[in-house]
Amino acid sequence: MSTLPQGTVPPERQPSGLRLHLPTVPEAFASLLQTVVAALFLLTFVLQPYLIPSESMEHTLLVGDFLLVNKQVYAPGGMLSRWLLPYRAVKRGDIVVFHHPDPPYLVKRVVACLATDCALRKGESR
């Protein structure tokens, strides 16, 4: 056992520059509540997760894949919300999700838009 000079603090007892701050129970609860409220707002009005239910989009999306859908991109926007969230028209090639009685929703690719001629030949759209 070595002895240290008088007035020297052993290395294991020296204070470090970093201190661990553990939140109190009210602080932790408030943080958790803020996170839950923000997540509920986003999932209600802005984003929604979907699971691909069938093979109809097999070349692009596989069964069991998850989509995070932006609910606002195609919504009609007001004057105030136009600068806040992005809005645009539906374009060919977009993947859209819409409600249907059976199954509860459909995930499809847009093949034609307004004023576009569409033909189906040998199982392919043109």
Is residue 31 annotated as a catalytic residue, yes or no? no
- Higher pLDDT: 15 or 69? It is 69
Under 8 Å between Cβ of 10 and 4 = yes
* Residue 122 annotated as catalytic: no
Q: How many CB atoms lie within 10 A of CB 77?
A: 16
* CA distance readout (Å), 2 to 5, 10, 15: 10, 11, 21
Q: Which two tokens stand for residue 94?
A: 């977009």
Q: Per residue in 75-102, pLDDT tens?
A: 776 766 667 777 778 888 888 888 888 8
Per annotation, catalytic residue among 71, 108, 122, 125: 108
Mean pLDDT of 14-26: 77
Averaged pLDDT for residues 105-109: 85
pTM above 0.75, yes or no: no
Please report which confidence band the pLDDT of residue 22 belongs to, taking 50, 70 and 90 as the band edges: confident
Using alpha carbons, select from 110, 63, 107 the residue that is nearest to residue 89.
110
Q: Which of 16, 56, 71, 81 is catalytic?
A: 56
What count of other Cβ atoms lies within 10 Å of the Cβ of residue 40?
10
